Amino acid sequence: MRLHQKLIAGDFPNCSKLSKELEVSTKTIQRDIDFMRDRLGLPIEYDQLHFGFVYTEPVTNFPSIEVSEGEVVALLVAQKALAQYRGTSFEKPLKVAFEKIADGLKDKVSFQWDGIESSISFRGIGSTAADLELFETVSSAVLKSHELAFEYRKLGSSGYEARRVQPYHLACIDQQWYLFAHDLVRSQLRTFVLSRMRKVQNTRMRFRRPPDFSITKHLSESLGVFSTNGRFKVRIAFDDFAARLVSERNWHPSQKIKQLPGGTIELRLELGSLEEIERWILSWGSHARVLEPAELKRRIRRSAEAILSDG
């Protein structure tokens, strides 16, 4: 709406001036102009004499966007969910983007923003500290199918390794950003944590993503991000304290819950890896007991003994 107001006022705004004023990139301003001209049909042209854009015909009203109160509330909920990035490099662009949308909709629906602001909130811990410039480079390469070159430090390693990949998908899982990409040297699909990447470069070298690649299928047997390295039928018993908490949530597409006497339950899952389920079970402490597989039992026992060890 700020762009529209400046055009109405005859200020001849241009991408450079507006990007500095709104603290966004010139590409963002140009996309807004293209959208207003091509999608909304507004008569915008660049005036060579005044070095800025202008309406070539009178525009009395900005084209309305049909939106329901429920849709705006959903938008606010999304904004609240992103509030966990307060204090990070994501905060400013997220805040600017939401304020631009809210400003354009404030006259379209009748309700109190402040009321919703004070009624809905999200609380999260352990959000990832990602670099905005790095994120933009990676996301752009994913969307445009450009190969990426970067240095990566594996978990448990003190040094960085050079990587060149074909990025397939970018996902935020449990408040951590992951890149799923084909590693050209290793000829395998690998998962990279964005916060462990540095010196990221978009090579501009195009590639074709496999048409049968599906992130949903790739993670179908995972409890998080670990890809399949086997097939495990998992059975876990929960006491009456944890039973209701476990039953209230959908942990995995394969889950089945069996009610047992005394308010206890048995949770059944089919997974491709035991890495994440081990940590998840440990988080329940004495309220969870592994029934199978035997390998998972051994893992939990070793971890519990290590926790109690004097060093």
Render 199-266 in DSSP notation, one character per residue. EEEEEEEE----TT--HHHHTTT-SSSPPPSS-EEEEEEE-HHHHHHHHTS---TT-EEEE-GGG-EE
Q: How far is CA 217 from the centre of its chain?
A: 18
Residue 16 has pLDDT above 80, yes or no: yes
Average pLDDT value for residue range 144-167: 93
Residue 204 has pLDDT above 90, yes or no: yes
pLDDT digits (tens, 9 = 90+) for 252-291: 888 999 999 999 999 999 998 888 899 999 999 999 999 9
Residue 228 has pLDDT above 70, yes or no: no
Contacts 24+ apart (CB under 8 A), 66-74: 67/105, 67/108, 67/109, 68/109, 69/109, 69/110, 69/111, 72/105, 72/109, 72/111, 73/116, 73/120
Flag the least confident range among 10-19, 117-126, 207-216, 239-248. Answer: 117-126
Phi, psi of 282 (to 5 degrees): -60, -30
Sheet architecture: strand order including 288-292? 256-259, 265-271, 232-238, 288-292
pLDDT digits (tens, 9 = 90+) for 104-119: 665 555 445 555 556 6
Count other C-beta atoms under 10 Å from residue 138's C-beta: 24
Return the ∠ at Cα 125 (arms to 124 and 126), rounded to 5°. Answer: 130
Mean pLDDT for the chain overall: 83
Identify the residue with better confidence: 157 or 259.
259
Residue 103 has pLDDT above 90, yes or no: no
The string of DSSP letters for 51-84 reads: TEEEESS---SPPP----HHHHHHHHHHHHHGGG
Report the alpha-carbon distance of residue 85 to residue 93 in Å, rounded: 11
